[in-house]
Amino acid sequence: MTDAVAAALAATPVIGIIRLPDASGAVEAAEALWRGGVHAVEVTLTTEGAADAIRALRDREQGPGVVGAGSVRTAADARHAIAAGARFLVTPTFQPAVLDTARAEGVPVMCGGLTPTELDSAAQAGADYLKLFPASSVGPGYVRELLAPMPDLKIIPTGGVRADHVAAWASAGACAVAAGSALVSAHLVAAGDWAELTARAERFARAWPR
């Protein structure tokens, strides 16, 4: 599973976050992102029916496309998401119980944190990636400063990330970025505008410097 996630991020270092009132349209939204070149997609557990959407997407994974679960906060959340087929888990904060549960199943975790201590503690505890959240509160310079003494950290800025921010985060040393509403907005999903979601994904994918 870890290899599949690494391959998806190597192809395009962007994670699409699907956070909606309910999961109707979540499958189509993820497929639209995959078509646009954003291969790693997370469905947040705050989305009603998230497990069903993850299960359906696991059956429909395309090429390097993978599906994970976001907003994972407890060991029970982790078990629920893994049972649904999530290939990776994303936490908003540093939660050792989630890391322990995922490690036992061989599922990678993108562990949330903001301060140097939180991020390094998560890395030392076995997090595969570090979700810098909320990234909009600090900016790319913060990543550059963090990596000076801790160059091994695999940081993924999340929160307020837009396509025109991607190059700056990449230049600062982020290994990927994650985007929610700038990629998948509820009104586009409600309208079934999958073409616009694909176009947004293409803009994000192109924005990462090669």
Is the pLDDT at 46 greater than 80, yes or no?
yes
- pLDDT at position 142: 98
- Domains along the chain with CATH numbers: 2-207 (3.20.20.70)
Is the pLDDT at 159 greater than 50, yes or no?
yes
Residues recognised as catalytic: 42, 131
> What distance in Å separates the CA atoms of residue 64 and residue 81, rounded to the nearest whole number?
20
pLDDT in tens, 116-156: 999 999 999 999 999 999 999 999 999 999 999 999 999 99
Residue with token string 């091994």: 152
- pLDDT at position 2: 61
Q: Answer whether 200's CB lies under 8 Å from 34's CB.
A: no
| Amino acid, single-letter form, for residue 7 | A
Tokens of 30: 């993820």
> What distance in Å separates the CA atoms of residue 147 and residue 17, rounded to the nearest whole number?
25
pLDDT in tens, 177-196: 999 999 999 999 999 999 99
φ/ψ of residue 184, rounded to 5:
-120, 100
Q: Answer whether 208's CB lies under 8 Å from 10's CB.
A: no
